[in-house]
Homo-oligomer: A and B are copies of this chain.
Amino acid sequence: MTSALPVLPPLLDVAGTAVFALTGALLAARLRQSFVTVAFFALVTGVGGGSVRDVLIGVPAFWLTSPWVAPVVFTAAMLAWFMPVRIWPALLLEWADAAGLAAFSALGAAKALALGVAPLPAIVLGVVTGCVGGIIRDVLAGVPSILMRPELYVTAAALSATLCAGALIAGLPQSAALGMAAIAGFALRGAAIWWKIELPAYSRFDATDKH
């Protein structure tokens, strides 16, 4: 459970944090909160998933040692605050969130593998990295969680994480594994946004089950 952190493309990492932070900041702005609360939402959404991954593995949270993350989160909060919400098309944000989801899920699985986590738990940690920031954002805001929406979301994260872990275990170079996995997850989530693809919901109830 040591060493050999993957040499992550730093731009990717920062871009993913920025996009997630922006979704958190914009949600807080939509709820008409103050700037400080907007910044707090940017923080927990931007770094929440990666932080949970890191503390589960038992290493310090990645943003404590990064010179980039805190300024990026703060910039995202400023952007959300000073630009009128109506110029942020909801669809553009959803696509940006899709990119962050796909990239972070792949990244999370790669980091977990590099830190010695077994393949299946590493995939789970990839999904956690991609999804948990948004879940914390929604729970804090008191809005229905992304977890409970019918459109493919966790599934896209699972695809990214699984492909990335599989490719790394198969011996592909890291940049190829990350890029391929992120593109596949992004494509799936994009298709879900575009064609409103939903997984079938559980439907084995009948009236006698209600209680």
A residues adjacent to B (C-beta < 8 A):
1, 28-38, 40-41, 43, 51, 54-61, 63-67, 69-71, 81, 83-86, 90, 112, 117-118, 120-121, 124-125, 127, 131, 135, 139-142, 144-145, 147-148, 150, 152, 154-155, 158, 198-206, 208-209, 211
Choose among A31, A40, A69, A203 the residue with the greatest number of B CB atoms under 10 Å from its CB.
Answer: A40
A36 and B205 form a contact (CB under 8 A): no
A56, B67: Cβ atoms closer than 8 Å? no
Residues on the B chain within 8 Å of A201, using CB: 32-34
Q: A36-B158, A65-B117, A70-B121 are in contact. List 8 more A-B contacts (CB 8 A).
A: A30-B202, A35-B199, A36-B154, A40-B147, A57-B60, A64-B118, A85-B202, A85-B209
B203 touches A43 (CB 8 A): no
Find A205's partner among B59, B85, B131, B211 (CB 8 Å cutoff).
Answer: B85
Whole-angstrom distance between the Cβ of A56 and the nearest chain B Cβ = 4
10 A–B contact pairs at CB < 8 A? A30-B205, A30-B209, A32-B205, A33-B202, A36-B155, A40-B147, A43-B124, A58-B61, A69-B121, A142-B148
CB contacts (< 8 Å) of A200 on chain B: these are 34-35
In the complex the two chains form, is B58's CB within 8 Å of A58's CB?
yes
Q: With A139-B139, A140-B135, A140-B147 known to touch, is A208 a contact of B64 (CB < 8 Å)?
A: no
Contacts of A31 in B (CB 8 A): 148
A146 — nearest CB in chain B belongs to which residue? B37
The listed residue with most B CB atoms (<10 A of its CB), out of A34, A35, A67, is A34
Instruction: Enumerate chain B residues within 8 angstroms of A158, measured Cβ to Cβ.
Output: 36
A84 touches B155 (CB 8 A): no
Complex contacts, A60 vs chain B, CB 8 Å: 1, 56-58
A64 touches B57 (CB 8 A): yes
**Which residues from B are CB-within-8-Å of A147?**
33, 37, 40-41, 140
